[in-house]
Amino acid sequence: MATPSSKSFLLEIVTPFRKVFSEEVSAIIAPGEEGYFGVLPKHTPLLTSLQTGHLKVEQNFPGQEPRELYFSISGGFAEVLPAGVKIFAETAEAAAEIDVPRAEDAKKRATERLQQGRKQWNLDRARAAQERAKNRLEVAVRKMR
């Protein structure tokens, strides 16, 4: 773990159920409602909503091997302050924690519900479930790079 400096900031990722991540980082790229946005140390304060997507975390500190971490994020918001960034997400999973067979099953189930139509299923919920499952699978692949 890095020592706090002017070239890093504290990133905390929390969900209603647990703290997913809390470490010093050098940069993040997050899925905002209007598209992906980046945060570097000393970023202007910001409060923004998040959409389903991947969160890229960079840890690039002198004397250490650079690291890139990926998280699957579903909804919530990001608060950027001088002391750091807090991601309050509906769901968040590190790439290494994603259960790929479970995500594949969820995607298949959502796709089947969309094909069956509105008479049996809430299509908005099925689309959201399909989007979350696809995102989890895309993030899981990133851990293998």
- Contact predicate 58/36, CB 8 Å: no
- What is the reported pLDDT for 77? 96
Give the residue ranges of the chain where pLDDT is below 70: 1-5, 117-121, 123, 143-145
Q: Indicate the CATH number of 98-142 among 1.20.120, 2.60.40, 1.10.10, 1.20.5.
A: 1.20.5
How many helices, marked H, and strands, marked E, lie in the chain?
2, 10
pLDDT at 101: 81
Name which of 74, 41, 40, 42 is nearest 55 in CA terms. 74
CATH number of the 9-95 domain:
2.60.15.10
Statement: the pTM of the whole predicted model exceeds 0.85: no
Nearest to 90 by CA among 20, 10, 9: 20
The pLDDT of residue 38: 96
Q: Could you tell me where in the chain the CATH 1.20.5 domains are found?
A: 98-142
- Residue 133's pLDDT is what? 79
Give the whole-angstrom CA distance, residue 135 versus residue 52: 7
Asked whether the beta carbons of 40 and 123 are under 8 A apart, the reply is no
